[in-house]
Amino acid sequence: MKKHLKQLFLVSLTIISLFLSSCHVSRRVGPGHSSDKTEHYHISEKNKRGKKVIEEALKWEGTPYKYAGSDRKTGTDCSGMVMSVYLDATGIKLPRNSAKQAEYCKKISSSKVETGDLCFFATGKDPKKISHVGIMIDEENFIHASTSKGVVISKITTPYYTRTFIQFGRVPSE
C-alpha cells in the first residue's frame, strides 16, 4: 500500500510540475511603464515621427483620467495627453485644448491618415464643436483619454466614434 501511495504522489507531483512550468506570467503595463506594443499595430517604419509619437503615447496607456491634467502619473484629459506626448516625442508644443489643436493641424482625408495623426470628435452637447482628441496608431486604432476609463486604445470604427467623428488632422513639422 505504501508503495502505491508513493507512486501516486510522484505521478501527482510530476503532473503539477508540468502544469506549472507551462504557465507564464504576463506583465501588466500601466502608467509610466514601457513595452514594445507597436508590434501589434500596422506602423510603417518609414514614418519615423509617427512611430516615435506612438511609442510615447503607449506609455500613457492606463493613466487615469483627470480633467485639465497632463501628467502620466497623476492623470490627464485627452488634449493634455496629446499635448504632452507630442512635446516629449517631437518637441512640438501643441495648444492645450482639442478645438485649438484641430485648428493648429492640417486637415486631412481618411485616405491620407498615418500613424501619429490626430482624430477629432464632438462628444459634448454641440454636435459640431470639437471636444475630444486622440492619436491614430494605425488605420483603425487610436489612443485617447476616456473620461470613464482613462487612457485607452479604441477602434475608430465603433458606432460611438463613427457618430461623433469630425475630422483627422496632421501636426505640422516645425
Q: Which residues are catalytic?
A: 78, 132, 144
Under 8 Å between Cβ of 58 and 69: no
Q: Any alpha helices (H) in the chain, and if so which ranges? A: 2-22, 48-58, 78-90, 98-104, 159-164
Q: Which residues pair with 136 in a beta bridge?
A: 142
End-to-end CA distance of the chain: 82
Query: Who contacts 47 (Cβ-Cβ below 8 Å, separation ≥6)?
Result: 114, 115, 116
DSSP code of 6? H
The H-or-E segment that residue 153 falls in is: strand 150-155
